[in-house]
Chain A
Amino acid sequence: MTLWQTTRMGLTALIVILGLASAVWAGDARQELAKTSTLEQVMQRGVLKVGFSTFVPWAMKDKNGDFVGFEIDVARRLADDMGVKVQFVPTKWDGIIPALLSGKFDIIIGGMGITPSRNLKVNFSSPYEFTGMSVVASRQAAPGKSSLADFNSPDVTVAVRLGTTAEKAAKNFLPKAQLRQFSDEAASIQELLNGKAQCLVASNPLPRNLAAKYPDQLYLPMQEDFTREPIGFAVRKGDPDFLNYLNNWIRVANAEGWLDARFTYWFNGEEWKSLVE
């Protein structure tokens, strides 16, 4: 064996060993990633912790103190399909993302609209539903308006819930109007009923329900929603396994028509109203 051959053999051996080692190492990293995935942790714990905020009819408490709503159905079915129990963690909307990041729960299933700024902090699944913004206006304070442009003037006050996509929509579509932000929905509705705000921007079905509940005081200027926003599950960043599971779950639930059926039940029907009040 010449010196050249020896060197070549040695080098080849070295490359093979290094290659094998790195392949093994990569395998380790993959296993490590899978082990730390929320999916794996949920399976081991046997409990899926779900964060959400009360938001009619997405998620709310019924008369007996049990949680009901579209998102509750979704969470129940998701946990069921994973073969684990579900634990609901009601959380204030303003603190829901920090609570997810600090591990108070595994996933937000709470009608959360996918936005670029939220997406910088959390990962979103593919959208499983869409929601649209709508306007409900006061008959006394803003009579006879029929388009968004009618509301876009400095003498119009718009009530919105703080930190929601309604706030963004109002800023985008009604830049000239004055915004009044409220941390809960009930206060913004009261402002509208008192005529201090001319209109309220919120995702349907709230505007529709309000107009139906107070027909002498409120009306819907436009029948159609003016936005169409994707709603996704939010999970902590850097967890491809969990995201993959969620995306495929959505695909299956959509294909069965189950998601649409539940959505129709909660958003276009009235049957569930007796559960709550």
Chain B
Amino acid sequence: MRNRKLRVTPLDAAVLLLLTGAALAFGYRVAGDLNYRWDWSSMPHYLLRWDAKEQTWRAGLLLQGLFVTLRLSVLSGLLATLFGMVMGLFRTSRSPLRQMIGGAYVGLVRNTPPLVLVFVFYYFLGDQIMAALGVNDLVYTLPKHVQSALEFALGPVEQIPAFLSAVLTLALFEGAYITEIVRAGVESVEKGQWEASAALGFSRWGRLRHVILPQALVRMIPALAGQFISTIKDSAIVSIISIQELTFAGQELMAATYRTFEIWTLVLALYFAMTFPLSLGVRALEGRMNKFRNGL
């Protein structure tokens, strides 16, 4: 497929023309009927701005939001993988107690709407956990260089408690889906592999670690990648608890400037810019793995 030369046939040209026409007609309708004055002039400023006082370029409001979204998705993605791994192994375990814990976790989280979960977790559980850990006071007492390191990883110091509780909520939520991905991966490994490794005298943990998981992981990668991409997009729901990520930043800007369509368009483009390279990366990774598997 890849090696074939690209040729544009008349049919392709006709389809392309039709699509362009449809896009133009749509644009014309939007511009005409919507009664909206497009004004892109101040938009670049929300991405990058020149700080005259300090003579440097600074991230604009939307780009700041993008950074928060990135931090949020990377941290909660990692944590969710951890939760998912543990719970997934629990679900495939032979102990009824562990099976029940894993089952209860998935059942509880997957059958509640994320919006409600975020709200409840933030106002009831998050606070208690943060207070018990003493995060609120802890971050202020840390030495300066630790604080600046934290600021790089977690954002402004005063927002850390809220940010952590958002990370935890998202991780819990995404972890339930990853649990099922892990379970599917482990269960997809043929029974013979278990039996063969048992015959070699591996313990259960040894069998998992050396034989089953390496094979399961390869099968899990496309689903895991999909889950991570959706974590980036799902992170928008924490805007309801006023975490200042991309969606929240966009909404604040809209409330201040009433430039609804320009800002939503930019927000859309920024989310796409985050997730599309990931999709490409995963596709490349899969290609390499297929080559490797076929070569075997």
Contacts and interface: CB of A to CB of B under 8 A. Distances in A.
Q: Do A and B bind each other?
A: yes
Interface of A: 53-56, 60-61, 63-65, 87, 89-92, 94-95, 98-99, 102-104, 184-187, 189-190, 193-195, 217, 276-277
B11 interface: no
B258 A98 contact: no
A185 B252 CA distance: 11
B64 interface: yes
Query: Secondary structure of the B side of the interface?
Result: helix
B158 interface: yes
Contact of B255 (A55, A99, A104): A55
A186 B256 CA distance: 9
B211 interface: no
A187 B123 contact: no
B290 interface: no
A186 B60 CA distance: 21
Interface in B116-148: 119, 123, 127
Interface of B: 33-36, 42, 45, 49, 51, 58, 60-61, 64, 119, 123, 127, 158, 162, 239-242, 244, 251-258, 260
B36 A190 contact: yes
A98 B240 CA distance: 12
B251 A103 contact: no
A86 to B, nearest CB: 11
Given A63-B49, A193-B36, A195-B35, A92 B242 contact: yes
Contacts of A89: 242
Given A63-B49, A90-B244, A193-B36, A102 B257 contact: no
Given A54-B255, A61-B252, A193-B35, 5 more contacts: A54-B252, A60-B255, A65-B61, A186-B260, A190-B260
B127 A103 contact: yes
B255 A92 contact: no
A102 B123 contact: yes
A92 B240 contact: yes
Contact of B258 (A61, A189, A194): A189
5 contacts: A61-B256, A99-B242, A187-B260, A195-B35, A277-B257
A64 B59 CA distance: 9
B252 A194 contact: no
A190 B253 CA distance: 15
A194 B256 contact: no
A92 B240 CA distance: 7
A186 B255 contact: yes
B257 A276 contact: yes
Contact of B162 (A54, A60, A98, A104): A104
Nearest to B256: A60
Contact of B158 (A87, A98, A190, A194): A87
Contacts of A189: 258
Contacts of A102: 123, 127
B255 A185 contact: yes
Given A98-B123, A103-B127, A217-B35, A61 B254 contact: no
A64 B255 contact: no
Contacts of B241: 95
Contacts of A187: 260
A193 B127 CA distance: 42
Contacts of A64: 49, 51, 58
Contacts of B239: 92
Contact of B64 (A63, A65, A95): A65
B266 to A, nearest CB: 14
A102 B256 CA distance: 27
A178 to B, nearest CB: 20
B85 to A, nearest CB: 32
B254 A184 contact: yes
Can you list the 10 inter-chain pairs with the closest CB atoms, starting with the nearest? A60-B256, A54-B255, A186-B260, A91-B242, A186-B254, A193-B35, A54-B252, A186-B258, A102-B123, A65-B61
Nearest to B241: A95
Contacts of B58: 64
B192 to A, nearest CB: 54
A60, A64, A276 — which one has the most chain B CB atoms within 10 A of its CB?
A64
Nearest to A101: B123
A93 to B, nearest CB: 9
A102 B125 CA distance: 11
B58, B60, B127, B256 — which one has the most chain A CB atoms within 10 A of its CB?
B256
A56, A193, A277 — which one has the most chain B CB atoms within 10 A of its CB?
A277
A61 B250 CA distance: 11
A184 B127 contact: no
Contacts of B123: 98-99, 102
Contacts of B251: 184
Nearest to B239: A92
B242 A90 contact: yes
A193 B34 CA distance: 8
A228 B207 CA distance: 74
Nearest to A209: B258
Contact of A185 (B33, B34, B51, B258): B258
